[in-house]
Structure 1
Amino acid sequence: MFVTWLKENNVADFDFSNMLFPNGSNREFWDSKYKEKYVKRAEKFLGFSWPLIKASDFIAFHTEGSRQRHEKPYFERRAAFCALILGELLENKGRFIPDIVDGALLLCEETTWTLSAHKHPLGAPYDIQAADDPYIDIFAAETAVMLTLCHYLLGEGIRKYCPEMLERIEYEIERRIIKPYLERRDFIWMCNTPGWKVDNWNPWILSNLLTVFLIMQKDSEKLKHGIEKMISEIQGIYNTYPRDGGCDEGATYWCMSQGAFFEFCDQLFIATNGKINFFNDETTQNCGKYEYRAYIGNGYFTNFADGATTLKNAQISYILYMYGKRINDSRLSSLSKELNLIPNELNDNDSMLRRMVFDLIYEDEIKALTDFEPCDSCILKDTQNAFVHKNGWFYAAKGGHNAERHNHYDVGSAIVYYNGCPVFVDSGSGTYNAKTFSLQRYDIWTMNSSWHNLPQINGFGQTGEYEQPDGKIYKADNFEMEGTTTHISFAKAYRKEAKIETLDRFVTVNEDGVSIKDKFVFTKDKNTFCEHFITPLEITIEGNKAIIGNEFIVTADCEGAFAYDSVDFEDDEKLKANWNTDKMNRLKFTALCGKQYEVTINIKRK
């Protein structure tokens, strides 16, 4: 779509002067948006002791495999900076300006804006990114937006207090972002690197660079050259989106993929007063609809792959609202209201400033929307996702393959919720470390099939290849829906040692619960299988049934034995925040069988 548009249009013919939103001197506009909660949060950071980032913190990713040593102070700085900017923007008294200037100078003095885990991928021989060789990763681009909006929104106040700070911001953005972006073609997310699998870095970075160029780039030739380059590069992620709009990275990573893709398109729409409009495209429209199709209720989303099961409002509300408006889909817009109705205090760790500003602008409009109505059922055959709501029950099932982005060994898995509360779940991923995106990825329990809602067959689970095309051969080869039943064939997801010829799963919602039927055909006469079901709820075994959370009964229709075990993650803040517990339980049903066998697991309320 984008390459075709470039062939048919000349970027130089368009005027990009319409601003995304008014600057801070437009007091009539910003005074009308005043919300005390933003000022109260900013007050927490008055006189803030900005955390130190040491060389050893950055190098710890290499020496210890720790991302947190560098990322904790890195994001604490940025969260404080963003909170202070919003507080000053709304209050307009100047009392936050000294701390804002302190924060801006601190960011400008950082040797690199990239994370230690994201250091220059082109073979650079240093553990700390060289100051004269800036690399643009996702958070360098985010940092550039923070400083850009600081300059744009608060320029008047900063000029009165410390005019040199504005010049320093301009210098650092030109040096670290604009110049390398215009000159380089070899950063992997630019989609010029053979063999690189395009992922959310592409739209995430480009949506931020577009903000920087639209506001900071005063040279019209450089501006239009940069925009032309961005439009060409965004084609890379667009080419990976299936026509049904599904996101194989999970509904929360949608925020950084399709959500950021929307932001890119929307900024072009705003800057040109609608003259550049990519929202009539079917795939683009379906990308937006994915988020309400994957919505479970009660703030929970389907969370296949590395995604979390809930979203922070600052990452999503305005995107859902405006995406719905751009494609004329009121259900998508109203999902933003649904999420805002869920109690959620402002997060002191939020640092996505452009999204926070837009959320602030549209907050009152979102409150006035009609209530959200979920879909009953939906199948995305290209993505191989299915979602079903009925009688208070919800299930989502997936096919796919084991070379997906942010992949887990989860082909054929299904999750089950009741009245918006988890029963059988996908744990998601824990706090990222050096193993997460390495050849040791599937040594992590959250990534392998034995900790998904899947059978282990003759002692073997699923397999694939990390970041390799060969992983696509470990896949589902049939994915269908009839009524409320989803049928998945996925024997090919298992290694050959499992001795499985065909494996068909049928997931359905009936009048009083959910059933999961697995039909096995083996290549040998004597076999064993162990069904796994993951839950954050407590498990009790009572004879031939299991009690989940003292509310749900799980039974099997064949001979076998229930048991359970658990994994503790009391040291993993990410998993604890996602599930409000420090352990995950695994229900197991084990049976012996012959060459052909089938088992149905039923989940009902007590």
Structure 2
Amino acid sequence: MASSIAFCNPKRNLLTDSYTRKFVNSVLAKDYSWITYPSYSDRMGWSQLPEEVRKKTIQEGEKYIGYDWPIFTATMYLEFTRAGNRSIIDEAISNRLRALRSLVMAELMEGEGRFIDDIINGVFTYCEQTYWGSSAHFYLYGFGNSDPNGSINDPYTVLPDIDNPIIDLMASDVSADLAWIWYFFHEEFDKISPVISKRLKHELQNKILSPYYERNDLWWMTGWGEGDVIFERSNWIVNNWTPWITSNMLTTILLMEGNPDTKLYGIYKTMISMDIFMNTYPLDGACDEGPSYWRHAGGKLFDYLNIFRKATNGAVDIFNDELIKNIGRYIYRVYISNGGHYVNWSNAAQIIRHDGGHIFRFGEAIGDPVMKKFGAFLLRESNFGKETITGNIGQSLENLFHLEKWQDTRPSEPLIHEFYFPESELAFARDKEETNDGFYFAAWGNNNSGGHNHNDVGNCILFFNGTPVLVDVGRGGNGTAMHNLPLINGIAQSTGGKYKANDSKFSSSTRKVSFSTDITKAYPSQANVNKWTRSYTLIRGEKFSIVDRYQLSQNSGNTAFHFMTGLQTRLIKPGVLELHSEDYTLQMKYNPFLVAIDIEEKMFRNEISRITFNLINTELSGNMLFEIVKAR
């Protein structure tokens, strides 16, 4: 499961409080005039695309001519409940969808009918499939009357139930893609047999549209408080599932629903869900699911608002709201360096590749030149315009036909000097603005709630010259001892919203940036800690320091400070640890009379080492200073 955001903000209701059903009905396009891409028959429109894009996209589609569409067997689904393995079914879903998308984009580019038969085979394969989603999401079926809260690994059915259709992330992705396929090709299909389009429409109705209209018990629609609460996390409301699925639902409804009253009902239902999602977001725009999930949270919010604005000829438009702007700006504010390094709190990888077109178009929508320049930078880095177009069909179409101005925008990295997200308690700063030279640090407070929680309140990351020094290992590295944090009396932080930071403070000047947070309450009572404040200070152009000020009620002798690094380590002498890369050498200085050092080389994924400083001071209170400087 993905993580979530709790109701900690006012119910803004940016959509439903601004636009009534009557108003939406009056401005909603009654036909397909809102679609701004060439039709399949408009060969002139498709021929305007760059020749290199068309050539490579067609070549990609040619790989799937005569494709043997895989069948999903019962045992593939059963593998999740039997062995906890979701990868077999998820990989099959991904591979099949990649083939279908490649064939579709190739046929749209070429327009000669070479790929039509294979597209039809793909469509019929999906039509014959009971369920388009993942076995890991069978909990959406429910758990029966005897155990309504149940377990995610023990739903009432371990195989797809044709009489109880559910909608998860993957099913919604398939739905939107198939809706676009129907729109572009139903006339071509009808030349072969009207049964094809009729069947496709029938399956979209039964598997997606009818369940969406009729159900309110799927948590991503209305939040955990209204849907099935199964994780015993009362503060879980919604997460990236809501904009991800809802943007796909809006696409499917707009393309496939022929009844005007039902269409309006469905669209307004999407507005309610999106308001719930936006109500939960902090005003500072920080994504509590981290920068990897931003594409599915804030990014899918953009997709939803973008298509809604198009379908109403600009009449429904909230891109000027400060919350929406901040949700977009978040992704460049947490950018660090080299096209893929971001502040990877939560469940983010150490290197993330974002779609530059997505970011550029979001920047255009909110009128943010920094975001547009960042999108242009990523587009240039990805060689956009000279490579195959991949991904979901709607996103591909937007990038193909609505990035006219990106080459007129000066590409640049958003190397921001400093920033603080006050609601999310996320701080960062670098030595010099608009350059990677020197130190960059980020640190956070917040709390230990949510599905992507790593029990890492007070954690930090550190970069030098644009490369990582102290890292958050990201996915797979859950737990306090896998972060740049202390175990207090051998005890790690605990999970839940009550395990949180307090009194977080950020200050900055030309020379100095500081962030401090009280992490006492992030630990359970067994840690026997009365007070623990973690402070970070960047003296620009000089050093980075970490200070722990603590008061214990008991000192059991097994308090330890952990630091994770991918650099080579060498103990120069007691009190000086060398951190070495190919391009620079740093020194980490500490008091050897207070701690004893231990290094576990490459203990995580054979890449990351853990440096442990074991507290040997027997006093109940004290200060511990770590300083990192460039070696002379």
Q: Same fold (TM over 0.5)?
A: yes
Q: Which moved more, 1:490-499 or 1:512-521?
A: 512-521
Secondary structure, aligned partner of 2:118: helix
Secondary structure, aligned partner of 2:167: coil
Q: Alpha-carbon deviation of 1:28?
A: 2.7
Aligned 8 A contact 1:58 1:70 in 2: yes
Q: Does 1:24 align with 2:40?
A: yes
Secondary structure, aligned partner of 1:370: coil
Q: Alpha-carbon deviation of 1:360?
A: 2.5
Q: How does 1:140-155 map to 2 (within 5 A)?
A: 140-155=171-186
1:380 is matched with 421
Q: Alpha-carbon deviation of 1:330?
A: 0.9
Q: Alpha-carbon deviation of 1:418?
A: 2.4
2:4 is matched with none
2:358 aligned partner, one-letter code: I
1:586 is matched with 610
Q: How does 1:80-99 map to 2 (within 5 A)?
A: 80-99=99-118
Matches of 2:360 and 2:213 in 1, distance apart? Answer: 32
2:468 is matched with 422
Matches of 1:148 and 1:454 in 2, distance apart? Answer: 48
1:214 is matched with 254
Matches of 2:546 and 2:206 in 1, distance apart? Answer: 57
1:565 is matched with 600
Secondary structure, aligned partner of 1:47: coil
Q: Which runs of 5+ in 2 are unaligned?
A: 1-13, 145-155
Q: Does 1:329 align with 2:368?
A: yes
Quickly say closer, same or farther: Cα 1:456–1:477, change in 2 above 3 A.
same
Secondary structure, aligned partner of 1:590: strand
Q: How does 1:203-282 map to 2 (within 5 A)?
A: 203-282=243-322
Aligned 8 A contact 1:321 1:334 in 2: yes
Quickly say closer, same or farther: Cα 1:566–1:135, change in 2 above 3 A.
farther
Q: Does 1:601 align with 2:601?
A: no
1:522 is matched with 552
Q: Alpha-carbon deviation of 1:347?
A: 10
Quickly say closer, same or farther: Cα 1:349–1:324, change in 2 above 3 A.
closer
Matches of 2:271 and 2:19 in 1, distance apart? Answer: 8
Residue of 460, 467, 477 corresponding to 2:502: 477
Aligned 8 A contact 1:317 1:359 in 2: no
Secondary structure, aligned partner of 1:150: helix
List per-residue Cα deviations over 1:257-307 (Å, max 9, x = no partner): 111111111111111111011112221111111111111121212221112
Secondary structure, aligned partner of 2:628: strand
Q: Alpha-carbon deviation of 1:527?
A: 4.6
Aligned 8 A contact 1:478 1:490 in 2: no
Quickly say closer, same or farther: Cα 1:312–1:9, change in 2 above 3 A.
farther
1:42 is matched with 61
Q: Does 1:51 align with 2:88?
A: no
Matches of 1:96 and 1:344 in 2, distance apart? Answer: 26
2:548 aligned partner, one-letter code: D
Q: Does 1:540 align with 2:553?
A: no
1:455 is matched with 486
Matches of 1:348 and 1:210 in 2, distance apart? Answer: 27
The two structures have a TM-score, normalised by structure 2, of 0.85
**Pairwise CA RMSD of aligned residues?**
2.4
Matches of 2:389 and 2:490 in 1, distance apart? Answer: 43
Q: Alpha-carbon deviation of 1:143?
A: 0.5
Matches of 1:425 and 1:96 in 2, distance apart? Answer: 47
Matches of 1:218 and 1:344 in 2, distance apart? Answer: 40
2:589 is matched with 556
1:579 is matched with none
Matches of 1:328 and 1:476 in 2, distance apart? Answer: 35
1:573 is matched with none
Matches of 2:193 and 2:206 in 1, distance apart? Answer: 21
Q: How does 1:482-497 map to 2 (within 5 A)?
A: 482-483=507-508, 484-497=513-526
Aligned 8 A contact 2:27 2:313 in 1: no
1:115 is matched with 134
Aligned 8 A contact 2:360 2:373 in 1: yes
Q: Alpha-carbon deviation of 1:537?
A: 3.4
List per-residue Cα deviations over 1:104-142 (Å, max 9, x = no partner): 221222111120001134226321121121101111110
Matches of 1:530 and 1:232 in 2, distance apart? Answer: 48
Secondary structure, aligned partner of 2:440: strand
Q: Which moved more, 1:185-194 or 1:139-148?
A: 185-194
Secondary structure, aligned partner of 1:106: helix
Quickly say closer, same or farther: Cα 1:363–1:49, change in 2 above 3 A.
farther
List per-residue Cα deviations over 1:508-560 (Å, max 9, x = no partner): 32213422222222223665432212223343334333333433434233122
Q: Which moved more, 1:482-491 or 1:16-25?
A: 16-25
Aligned 8 A contact 1:536 1:584 in 2: yes
Question: Kindly, what percent of the aligned residue pairs are identical?
Answer: 28
Matches of 1:586 and 1:64 in 2, distance apart? Answer: 31
1:508 aligned partner, one-letter code: T
Q: Which moved more, 1:392-401 or 1:587-596?
A: 587-596
Q: Alpha-carbon deviation of 1:156?
A: 4.3
Residue of 351, 354, 366 corresponding to 2:394: 354
Q: Alpha-carbon deviation of 1:336?
A: 1.2
Matches of 1:158 and 1:603 in 2, distance apart? Answer: 66
1:187 aligned partner, one-letter code: L
Matches of 1:536 and 1:48 in 2, distance apart? Answer: 43
List per-residue Cα deviations over 1:330-360 (Å, max 9, x = no partner): 1112211222233579999964332222222
2:6 is matched with none
Q: Alpha-carbon deviation of 1:14?
A: 1.9
Aligned 8 A contact 2:596 2:616 in 1: no
Q: Alpha-carbon deviation of 1:377?
A: 0.7
Greater gyration radius: 2
Q: Which runs of 5+ in 1 are unaligned?
A: 431-445, 465-470, 571-581
Aligned 8 A contact 2:487 2:559 in 1: yes
Secondary structure, aligned partner of 2:290: coil
Q: Alpha-carbon deviation of 1:82?
A: 1.1
Aligned 8 A contact 2:78 2:159 in 1: yes
Aligned 8 A contact 1:252 1:309 in 2: no
Q: Alpha-carbon deviation of 1:450?
A: 0.6
List per-residue Cα deviations over 1:27-55 (Å, max 9, x = no partner): 23222124133223222222323334221
1:501 aligned partner, one-letter code: N
The two structures have a TM-score, normalised by structure 1, of 0.89
Quickly say closer, same or farther: Cα 1:309–1:339, change in 2 above 3 A.
farther
Q: Which moved more, 1:549-558 or 1:317-326?
A: 549-558
Matches of 2:185 and 2:472 in 1, distance apart? Answer: 43
Q: Alpha-carbon deviation of 1:200?
A: 1.1
Aligned 8 A contact 2:490 2:527 in 1: yes
Aligned 8 A contact 2:577 2:589 in 1: no
Matches of 1:367 and 1:518 in 2, distance apart? Answer: 48
Residue of 445, 453, 466 corresponding to 1:399: 445
Q: Does 1:367 align with 2:398?
A: no
Aligned 8 A contact 1:533 1:586 in 2: yes
Aligned 8 A contact 1:298 1:342 in 2: no
List per-residue Cα deviations over 1:215-269 (Å, max 9, x = no partner): 1112211111111111112111111101111111001111111111111111111
Matches of 2:529 and 2:621 in 1, distance apart? Answer: 10
Quickly say closer, same or farther: Cα 1:172–1:549, change in 2 above 3 A.
farther
Quickly say closer, same or farther: Cα 1:513–1:21, change in 2 above 3 A.
farther
Matches of 1:287 and 1:401 in 2, distance apart? Answer: 20
2:246 aligned partner, one-letter code: L
1:475 aligned partner, one-letter code: K
1:305 aligned partner, one-letter code: S
1:575 is matched with none
Secondary structure, aligned partner of 2:597: strand
Matches of 1:19 and 1:149 in 2, distance apart? Answer: 14
Aligned 8 A contact 2:290 2:348 in 1: yes
Aligned 8 A contact 2:56 2:388 in 1: no
Count of residues in Structure 1 that have an aligned counterpart in Structure 2:
572
Q: Does 1:169 align with 2:200?
A: yes
